Structure 1
Amino acid sequence: MSLSGFTAPLWFLLLLVVAAVVAGYVLAQRARRRRTLRFTNLELLDRIAPRSQGWPRHVPAALIIVALLLLTVGLAGPTAEAKVPRNRATVMLVIDVSLSMEATDVQPSRIKAAQDAATAFAKGLTPGINLGLVSFAGTATVMQQPTTERQPVINAIGNLKLAQSTATGEGIFAALNAVQGFSAVVGGVEGPPPARIVLMSDGKQTVPDDLYASRGAFTAAQEAKKESVPISTISFGTDHGTVIIDGRQVPVDVDDGSLQEVARLSGGEFYRAGTAEQLKQVYADLGEQIGYETKQSDASRPWVMLGTLSLIAAAGTSLFLGQRLP
């Protein structure tokens, strides 16, 4: 039983009462022994007094003490950390579909590995979370608005098509717009649900050249920070990827630096994946992190149950050993 705190620790003052009971029991046993020794006719005492049961006679009392200790802990309101599924959140998957995703440094290709990992992420995400999809190359497209239905998102992931250029900022802005539109519809009395963007890319932004331009990735990340929408970025690929463009072999190295900065500016986290398995693991970790939240839950029930069972055991052993209740 793992504990993280107590809601009513003042109940531990009852331990003083438990200590007094233990002390009283010990004194009572000593007094009984003194009275026995004062009986001068030991031969007569052996005939009229029941034979001592030795240490087993202390078992009922010991069980009562244990029960009191367990019940005291239960009354103190122990709490434990518990993972609780999130039932009110929005997640936007933002996936790079620039031509560099054709590279085969990750088998069978970057785009195919990305589709497989994103599909597994969608299938494993907590059912109560609203999931949407944005793809981006030279422009961004909202492939699927946030929904708790997973099949439309999975279908959209399977329909991703590659195109020229990399407009990372546009992908982020499109995701933010989708989050804002969805939040305006489902906000209600509790306000908009918490949201997060999961951005996967394998290269540096090319449109526009300046990452701090009005539609640049860093500007978009700063806007996400203002909207309290952290961006978890995934840098996917290796340093030796190449693609054929217009008959020429073009290197398409990953760009960790810009994605790290996007995560930092937005208040999110950066992840690195150089293989298909690593990418799946990153998505699995994100699914666990996004899909569940840690809350303090009541952990008193096991202590109360054990305390009650100890009292029952004390009564049973007392009846068995001494034909009476303690």
Structure 2
Amino acid sequence: MTLPFLGPLALSGFAHAWYFLYLLVVLGLVAAYVVVQFGRHRRVLRFANMELLQRVAPAAPRRRWRHVPAILLVISLATLAIALAAPTHDVRIPRNRAVVMLVIDVSESMVATDVPPSRLAAAKEAGKQFADELTPGISLGLVAFGGSATLLVSPTTNRAAMKTAIDGLKPEERTATGEGIFTALQAIASVDAVMGGGDTPAPAHIVLESDGAETIPRNPDEPRGAYTAARSAKDQGVAISTISFGTPDGVVGIEGQQVPVPVDDATLQHITDISGGQTFHAGNLDELKKAYAALQQQIGYETIRGDASQAWIRLGALLMAAAVLASVLTNQRVPV
């Protein structure tokens, strides 16, 4: 829960939970208050002249509200005890140390125009937008694969170089998805060797966009196949998120003939199942941009435990002030 004045009140844990022992003090104050009120009640009953008692006793409405200041005071002390326990809440912050490899299929099927103006042209536009919107501190690299795979941009924070390389993508024959993944893994390993800023390797992620099944090799489980590459990624702790891009109606002209190139979801789904990550299907440019936007939110940010005590301190102070005000209004004195 978030209130503008107070801040986030949602909790995900406590850094110093032993401070909750102060709640025993609060319980002691409650017990003392009850004892004092019970003693007052007994003294009142000793009055013999009930008519006089009714004249000097507070009016019924005032008696009804006379415990409100004490209740507010107890709640404020309990709230401050929570603040002392250093509550935490989940905070999403931009990553400033991570590697993302964008692996794009440039096989001949990507010239199909079922996604106007073509699958490849739409992939270029969405890829450049992804590069622009990805958290600036993340190193982004580019691999293009057709019959072979080429590292076009080593992981870098230079988004201009990335977009220039995406603009230069050209179609090639055949589809070697496994080679694309292996090339991306090699680039990640290379940058890990030189990237500082931590005791552990920077978190890495592969985003694979393709429209068809692998053709080199024919069996994805062969040593250089897509499924073998996905298993290697899993062993290295690199998740692969995939975007299958296109429609079942895609065709390309090859040697004067119209050859169907329907999108293949199954291969990419299995790659994700093996390695982890998310699977997306995009049948048009808008869906492709949405897939990249979802990935940007997932990859570009991390969730950490942040301090939430300030909100509880403000709430405790507000309740204490309310207790003082209520006491002045109902009892004409500060609560004791």
TM-score, length of structure 1 as denominator length: 0.90
**Corresponding residue number in structure 1 for 2:14:** 6
- Indicate if the aligned counterparts of 2:80 and 2:312 stay in contact, CA closer than 8 A: yes
Superposed, which structure 2 residues align to 1:29-178 within 5 Å?
A: 29-41=37-49, 51-52=58-59, 53-178=62-187
Deviates more, 1:246-255 or 1:189-198: 189-198
**Corresponding residue number in structure 1 for 2:262:** 253
C-alpha displacement at 1:242, in angstroms? 0.6
Deviations 1:73-108 (A, max 9, x none): 223332222212211100000000111111122233
Amino acid aligned to 2:94: P
Distance 2:23 2:317 in 1: 17
Distance 2:99 2:204 in 1: 4
Distance 1:67 1:2 in 2: 18
Deviates more, 1:307-316 or 1:186-195: 186-195
Deviations 1:123-153 (A, max 9, x none): 2211111111111112222222211222221
Query: Of residues 279, 294, 297 in structure 1, which corresponds to 2:303?
Result: 294
Secondary structure, counterpart of 1:94 in structure 2: strand
Distance 1:217 1:160 in 2: 21
Q: 1:300 to 1:241 in 2, by over 3 A?
A: same
C-alpha displacement at 1:289, in angstroms? 1.0
**Which structure 2 residue ranges, 5 or more long, are not aligned?**
1-8
- Indicate if the aligned counterparts of 2:100 and 2:155 stay in contact, CA closer than 8 A: yes
C-alpha displacement at 1:44, in angstroms? 6.2
Distance 2:320 2:280 in 1: 53
Amino acid aligned to 1:206: T
Amino acid aligned to 2:155: P
**Corresponding residue number in structure 1 for 2:5:** none
For the pair 1:272 / 2:281, whether they are aligned, the reply is yes
Q: 1:166 to 1:69 in 2, by over 3 A?
A: same
For the pair 1:263 / 2:272, whether they are aligned, the reply is yes
Distance 1:15 1:189 in 2: 40
Secondary structure, counterpart of 2:113 in structure 1: coil
Distance 2:82 2:200 in 1: 38
Distance 1:189 1:114 in 2: 34
Secondary structure, counterpart of 2:66 in structure 1: helix
Distance 2:51 2:176 in 1: 103
For the pair 1:197 / 2:206, whether they are aligned, the reply is yes
Query: Of residues 311, 329, 334 in structure 2, which corresponds to 1:325?
Result: 334
Amino acid aligned to 2:310: R
Deviates more, 1:270-279 or 1:138-147: 270-279
CA RMSD of aligned residues (A): 2.4
Q: 1:18 to 1:112 in 2, by over 3 A?
A: same
Question: How many residue pairs align between the two structures?
Answer: 325
Distance 1:143 1:107 in 2: 25
Amino acid aligned to 1:73: I
**Which structure 1 residue ranges, 5 or more long, are not aligned?**
none
Distance 1:42 1:215 in 2: 99
**Corresponding residue number in structure 1 for 2:321:** 312
Deviates more, 1:281-290 or 1:257-266: 257-266
How many percent of aligned residue pairs carry the same amino acid? 53
Deviates more, 1:209-218 or 1:252-261: 209-218
**Corresponding residue number in structure 2 for 1:22:** 30
- Indicate if the aligned counterparts of 2:97 and 2:197 stay in contact, CA closer than 8 A: no
Secondary structure, counterpart of 1:54 in structure 2: helix
**Corresponding residue number in structure 1 for 2:251:** 242
Deviates more, 1:38-47 or 1:75-84: 38-47
**Corresponding residue number in structure 2 for 1:284:** 293
Deviates more, 1:150-159 or 1:49-58: 49-58
Deviations 1:220-260 (A, max 9, x none): 22322232222112211122211111211000012222222
Deviations 1:280-316 (A, max 9, x none): 2221111111111222222222112111221223233
TM-score, length of structure 2 as denominator length: 0.87
C-alpha displacement at 1:198, in angstroms? 0.6
Q: 1:38 to 1:162 in 2, by over 3 A?
A: same
C-alpha displacement at 1:208, in angstroms? 2.8
